[in-house]
Amino acid sequence: MNRTQTLTRWLTADNNPIQVFGTVAAIVIGALTVRPVGTSGTGLAVLCLLVLVSLTTCTRLIPEGRFSPRTQLAVVCVWSLGAAALLALDRYGASALFAYLVTGHAGYRLDSRRSLPFAVCTSALCAGVLLLPWGGHHTSWIVGAFTGVSVLVGISNRARAEALRSARAAAQQAELASRAEARAEALAERARIARDVHDVLAHSLAGVNMQLEVTDALLESGDIGRAREAAQRAQSLVRSGLTEVQRTVGDLREDALPLVETLRSMLDSATGAGTLTVGGPPRELPVRRTQVLVRCAQEALTNAHKYAPGAPVRIRLEYLEPREGLPEETVLEVVNSAPPEGSRPLAGAGSGMGLVGMRERLDLVGGTVTAGPIVDGDDAGGWRVRVVIPA
């Protein structure tokens, strides 16, 4: 808990040290200054009234909300009557302190519709008893007439306490909202890391698995030379996988990626022929968008290795200028031809999460993806993935 919250709790507490000290001080001052005090006659009456107002003054220390509004009103009424009666009998007028306390307390504990009329009645009552010629007091009626003024102090203190409570509640809500936002960001970051790990592992392990299957088939057929070549390709894929892991770690640290060079490196490490073309005036993209394009290309290449091993793959990166009310866009298209005869697609090897992760990643930057088979043209029987990211 920081210092501001501690101070707010202390100021809004019903039993903070200032209130306790003020209550005790008022009772002690009254006991020492109110006269006459005795065991008979007026002195006994003064003593009884002093005990009564002292007890009712102690109700200031009872936490707010413990009394119902009616009970609270009854308590301050008894307190007010006792203070007025004591003021009438007090020789020197020191008991007026209790009258000022009761109206201030009423302003703090009662709503304005009750506290203001109560303060007026208390002022009139105290002024009236001081105007009457009894008790031998020497206090001016003006002292009693102004006892209701302290209700304004009570109302002000109540408004301040409510403002502090509202500020504390707002601070708590803001803290809860901040924690919720931090948790949402953490979950989003976990999802992003999961997608990155999936992309890297799927790309590397799928290729290694394919080469190992080829090696196994060649060993069964007795072709040791080609089996050795397939095993070497598997080793090469492992090395490239390690490179991809290092690159992923760099991506997670928000390092900038050279988009074209990264795409070319990924395409060169893929099996089969591949080409990369870039269209439009090149421009630097934000790190997040660059990462999304790289991961989408990686997923598309992984699928091409799985389902069309040995097929030519083409990547086209195009920077589109604003046109017909459309914003700047960056388009990435990955196309693979139909798998050649004799290839062994890894049927059933995919989990189906690659395209889902691609869509989730693109949603974060407002992009879209379309993927589907090619039914006509030179690439009929192949697959096309098209990613569009607006500026």
- Residue 152 domain-assigned (yes or no): no
- The pLDDT assigned to 103 comes to 96
61 to 2, 21, 55, 76, 105: CA distances (angstroms): 26, 10, 11, 14, 11
If you average pLDDT over residues 140-168, what whole number do you get? 92
Last residue in a domain, options 145, 165, 197:
145
If you average pLDDT over residues 178-183, what whole number do you get? 84
8 A C-beta contact, residue 355 and residue 383: no
- Residue 162 domain-assigned (yes or no): no
8 A C-beta contact, residue 90 and residue 137: yes
The pLDDT confidence band at residue 351, using thresholds 50, 70 and 90, is low
Question: Measured between alpha carbons, how far is 84 from 144 in angstroms, rounded to an integer?
Answer: 8
84 CB burial (10 A radius; 0-12, 13-18, 19+): buried
The pLDDT confidence band at residue 11, using thresholds 50, 70 and 90, is very low
- Residue 337 domain-assigned (yes or no): yes
**Are residues 130 and 181 located together in one domain of the fold?**
no
Strand order in the sheet with 274-279: 274-279, 313-320, 329-336, 383-390, 368-373
**Are residues 36 and 112 located together in one domain of the fold?**
yes
If you average pLDDT over residues 235-245, what whole number do you get? 73
- Mind giving me the DSSP string for 314-362? EEEEEEEPPBTTB--EEEEEEEE-PPPTT----TT---SHHHHHHHHHH
8 A C-beta contact, residue 214 and residue 344: yes
- Residue 167 domain-assigned (yes or no): no
- The pLDDT assigned to 72 comes to 94
If you average pLDDT over residues 86-107, what whole number do you get? 92
Enumerate residues 6+ apart whose C-beta is below 8 A from 79. 53, 56, 57, 59, 98, 102, 105
- Which has more pLDDT, 63 or 230? 63
**Are residues 255 and 375 located together in one domain of the fold?**
yes
- Residue 7 domain-assigned (yes or no): yes
**Are residues 327 and 179 located together in one domain of the fold?**
yes
The pLDDT confidence band at residue 389, using thresholds 50, 70 and 90, is very high
3-state helix, strand, coil in the chain (%, to 5): 65, 10, 25
The pLDDT confidence band at residue 216, using thresholds 50, 70 and 90, is confident
**Are residues 365 and 300 located together in one domain of the fold?**
yes
**Are residues 187 and 122 located together in one domain of the fold?**
no
**Are residues 134 and 262 located together in one domain of the fold?**
no
Least confident of 142-146, 162-166, 233-237, 294-298: 233-237
- Residue 378 domain-assigned (yes or no): yes
Question: Measured between alpha carbons, how far is 136 from 139 in angstroms, rounded to an integer?
Answer: 9
Supply the range of the domain harboring residue 356: 175-390
**Are residues 109 and 230 located together in one domain of the fold?**
no
How many folded domains does the chain comprise?
Answer: 2
**Are residues 133 and 263 located together in one domain of the fold?**
no
> 258-278: per-residue pLDDT in tens?
888 888 888 887 655 688 999
**Are residues 140 and 281 located together in one domain of the fold?**
no
The pLDDT confidence band at residue 30, using thresholds 50, 70 and 90, is very high
The pLDDT confidence band at residue 375, using thresholds 50, 70 and 90, is confident
Q: For the chain, what is the mean pLDDT?
A: 83
Residue 294 belongs to a domain with what CATH number?
3.30.565.10
**Are residues 307 and 211 located together in one domain of the fold?**
yes
Highest mean pLDDT among 94-103, 164-173, 199-208: 94-103
Percent of the chain with pLDDT over 70: 84
Last residue in a domain, options 127, 145, 163:
145
If you average pLDDT over residues 118-134, what whole number do you get? 91
Last residue in a domain, options 145, 160, 184:
145
- Residue 154 domain-assigned (yes or no): no
- Residue 74 domain-assigned (yes or no): yes
**Are residues 52 and 189 located together in one domain of the fold?**
no
